[in-house]
Every structure is written in structure tokens, then in C-alpha cells.
Structure 1
Amino acid sequence: MELTRLLSAGRTRCGVTATSKKRALERLSEQLMADVPAGSEATRNIFEGLTVRERLGSTGLGRGVALPHTRSPDIESSRAALIRLSTPINFDAADRQPVDLLLALLVPEHSNDEHLRILARLAEMFRDEALCDRLRNCSSDAELYAVITGENNGNAGE
């Protein structure tokens, strides 16, 4: 999986302010759909999908990372959005640690196998503590994007 196929620089934000899980999911929904015509209704649908998924169980992986995800009929190819929060928030993660790195995944409604493959690869990628430390030390959107995609000195997004 090449992360640059899913994530664009425009859907990567560093130092985002969100005071709750709900606000973080709203921000991610906006980012995921910012470049889609008629994005406001689609954004609401994505937010609802992410919220419903969280009710099934937290997507907090632990160690400050969460991978919220949902499906949508409003897109034709998978996409992702990444935020690093300025202040970690409670995300009901199993380890009870607050979350500051969130990568949201949105896949077309019919993409079951792809959805699971991408989630597994992302979960594996975020197990790398050195990568997470580099992401937490980023000071700009561009730097965050470069680190996550492996453009600056690693191969995170390969």
C-alpha cells in the first residue's frame, strides 16, 4: 500500500485543536471531503459513519494513535486524512492513553477486502514508535505529510 495514493498534503494537518472525540471526528470528516463537490452533505454522512463505527468500539490503537474509519457511497476510491492534535484527547483507547495522532480512512461502500487490508497496514505502520515520535515532533502540515509518506528520510508510506 502506497500511502500517497490515499493521503494528500491537503488532507494532512498539524497542530489541530479538538477538545473531544466528536470534534476530532468532525475535523477529520471535513478534511476527508473538502475536495468533493457537494461536500457538506457528504461530510455529514462521513461524520455519522465515523461516529457509528466508534460506538461499536474505539478505533484507538493505543500509544496515542487512532484509526477512525468508515465506508461511503459518495466516493469512488479510498482516501485518508491525518491530523496531529495540539493537545491529546480521550479517545476511549484500550490502553486509556489520550490520542494525538489520528488517521481517518474512508473507503467506497463496496470495498470490504481493500478496507481490511489498508487498516491492517496502517495499524502495522503506527506500531513503529520512532515514526510516531517523528510525527509528534512535526511543526507544519508539510512536514507531517513528508514524514508519514516517507518523503523526508524513511519509508513510512511504502
Structure 2
Amino acid sequence: MKLVHLLEPSRVFPQMKAMNLEEAIRMLVPRVQKDCSTEGRKCLIEEVLDRERLSSTIVGHGFALPHARSDEVSELTIGLGVFPGGLDEPTPDNKPLKIVFLLLEPKRVSKLYLKTLGVLARLAHTEGIVDSLSSAKTSQEIIDVIAETGLTVTERLTAGDIARRVEPVRQGMTLKQVADLFFRNDILTLPVVDNNEEAVGVVRCSDLLGSAMPEYTKMIGDLGFLSEFEPFDRFLHEEDKMLVDSIVCDDFIEVDEAASIVEITSLLLHHEENALVVTKEGNYLGMVSIRYIITKVMRT
């Protein structure tokens, strides 16, 4: 199904003005759900704002994708508001927020809903899309712009749809560089790639912590004689000399981007891992963690 076929001209609004994302949401909901009761609209607005408070849906590149699952709707409903003047909101890439897609879905786990969110995120990366949408004067012009992208929404939800691109560890990096990567990324397992971008292993937070502890601590039960920070002091003095190769684990889970959500969930639980590596045509694509599955599938 083409993305453009999920949009109705009556729910696409060019040249809008609002102060911030909350005001934009309060403007869009009643326009998108015209047949809903006043109380139903209020409920929808609060559900969308509650989801926004849980975690911002501003994805960068000028886009926000506020959404919610609600008993007030019976099918996937999409609205689009274009705000050429921008909204007063902080964004991850400091680009002004101008495009707001509103998605409303019944309370169920819907592949179409999740896939649509993923495709809209890809739309945000389309070169020149924000300028093209912002300059459109009519709903049909906006729809024509989106039609030109040719983006499609497939029914099957896969690992590639929810994988997050995490900056990988590279062979030959120091443990200092690896520690910095863990600091910058909210994940417990990092992928390790070679010069060809092929995944060759993973590094876990526990591996990094283990490298800071002296070998003899594994054989002694009572470590009370050690200074509280002694092992970490030693690590901080040597981290820029120690290479990651010594702690890389080559026994890891790797799946193709086409793997199903059920398949990757089963693998993570069976192997008692917190994350796995997703590849595309043999090259590293991203990571999927148990937390991502909860946030992307169960709480999106």
C-alpha cells in the first residue's frame, strides 16, 4: 500500500500556525475527528498529550509524529498539519519543527499502525521534503508531494522497522572510546564492526565493567580490603591504552532486517540477551533491544 493512500485531503491542512506542538495537537485533533463528540475529542487530545509526555515524538528533520491508541477511534486515522513558520520546540537536530503527522489507532497491536510510523520516519529523511510541504498551498498539493516519494507501507512488521542505528564499536578502538560510546547511547550492548561494516561481535556493559576489575577479584569472596574506587582508578589511568579486542564477544545474536518481531523477541528471551544485531545484506544496520520492543511495539 502506498503511503499517500492512507491520507485523505479532508485531514490534510496546509499553512497552519501554532505556538508549539501541544497547541498544534489541540488544533489537529478536532479537525481530524470532526464526527467525534466534544467529550471524545477532549479524551483524544489528552491521550495524545499523555503519550507525548511519556516520550517526545519529535523525530528531527522538521517532523513530529504525535500518536495514541484510543477507544475513541475505530480504525487508523491520520492527520497532517504543516506549519511553515515552525513550532517553538527543542528538536534533536536543532532543525525547526514544521511538519506534524497525527496518528490515532484503536487500542490494539496493529502492524499497519507501527509500519506507518516507520514509513513516516523515513519520509522525514527525504531530501527537500520539509520545504516542499511548507510551500504547498492546498491539501492536494501536499498529497501530490508525498505521492512523488513513492513510499509504501507493507503489512509485515520486521526487525528493520524498529532497529535503532547505534554508533558501532570498531576493531582497534580503545576502551576509553568504547566507554564514551556507552555514555552517549542508552543501550547495554554495542555492536562491533570491521572495516567492511560487517558485524563481528558485541561488547556488553558487563564486559567493560569486568575489564576494570582485577583478575584475582573473581577468586576472592570478600573484597572489603579493596579501596572503594581502586579498580576504577586503575581503569581510568589505562583505558586509553587498552584495546576493545580483548573484551569483544563473538558469540552474539545476528538477524537479517526481514526477521519478524516474534522471531527476534523469541531469540532474545531464549538466549537471555538484552539486545541483538540487525543486518542488511550482511552489513550492520542497527540494534534491537528488549526495551525497544516494549517501547516501539507495546507502548508506541
Q: Residues 87 and 142 of structure 1: is their aligned pair in 2 closer, same or farther, counting only changes over 3 Å?
A: same
**What is the deviation of 1:47?**
0.8
**What is the deviation of 1:126?**
1.8
In structure 2, stretches of 5+ residues that fail to align are 153-300
**What is the deviation of 1:127?**
1.1
Aligned to 1:106: 104
Counterpart-to-counterpart distance in 2, 1:157 and 1:41: 35
Equivalent AA in structure 1 for residue 98 of structure 2: D
Counterpart-to-counterpart distance in 2, 1:102 and 1:26: 12
Q: Aligned residue pairs: how many? A: 152
Counterpart-to-counterpart distance in 2, 1:49 and 1:156: 31
Equivalent AA in structure 2 for residue 97 of structure 1: K
Task: Say if 2:72 and 2:106, in contact at 8 Å, map to a contact too.
Answer: yes
Counterpart-to-counterpart distance in 1, 2:60 and 2:32: 23
Counterpart-to-counterpart distance in 2, 1:86 and 1:132: 9
Aligned to 1:31: 31
**Which aligned pairs between 1:120-131 and structure 2 lie closer than 5 A?**
120-131=118-129
Identity %: 26
Q: Residues 43 and 157 of structure 1: is their aligned pair in 2 closer, same or farther, counting only changes over 3 Å?
A: farther
The structure with more radius of gyration: 2
> Which structure features the higher share of strand residues?
1
Task: Say if 1:13 and 1:141, in contact at 8 Å, map to a contact too.
Answer: yes
Aligned to 1:89: 87
**What is the deviation of 1:111?**
3.3
Counterpart-to-counterpart distance in 1, 2:116 and 2:68: 12
**What is the deviation of 1:97?**
2.9
Task: Give me the TM-score of the superposition, normalised by structure 1.
Answer: 0.85
Aligned to 2:117: 119
Aligned to 1:16: 16
**What is the deviation of 1:4?**
4.2
Counterpart-to-counterpart distance in 1, 2:64 and 2:92: 11
Task: Say if 2:15 and 2:134, in contact at 8 Å, map to a contact too.
Answer: no
Higher relative contact order (CA 8 A, sep 6+): 1
Q: Residues 11 and 68 of structure 1: is their aligned pair in 2 closer, same or farther, counting only changes over 3 Å?
A: same
Aligned to 2:40: 42
Equivalent AA in structure 1 for residue 9 of structure 2: A
Counterpart-to-counterpart distance in 2, 1:145 and 1:88: 20
SS, match of residue 42 in structure 1: helix
**What is the deviation of 1:82?**
0.5
Aligned to 1:134: 132
Task: Say if 1:69 and 1:106, in contact at 8 Å, map to a contact too.
Answer: yes
The one-character-per-residue Cα deviations of 1:41-86 (angstroms, maximum 9, x if unpaired) are 2211111111111111211111211111111112221010001114
Counterpart-to-counterpart distance in 1, 2:4 and 2:91: 27
Task: Give me the TM-score of the superposition, normalised by structure 2.
Answer: 0.47
Equivalent AA in structure 2 for residue 70 of structure 1: A
Deviating 4+ runs (over 6 angstroms)? none
SS, match of residue 10 in structure 2: strand
Counterpart-to-counterpart distance in 1, 2:28 and 2:80: 7
**What is the deviation of 1:123?**
0.7
The one-character-per-residue Cα deviations of 1:17-46 (angstroms, maximum 9, x if unpaired) are 111222101112112211x242x2221111
Counterpart-to-counterpart distance in 2, 1:84 and 1:73: 27
Query: Does residue 64 of the first structure (1) align with residue 65 of the second (2)?
Result: no
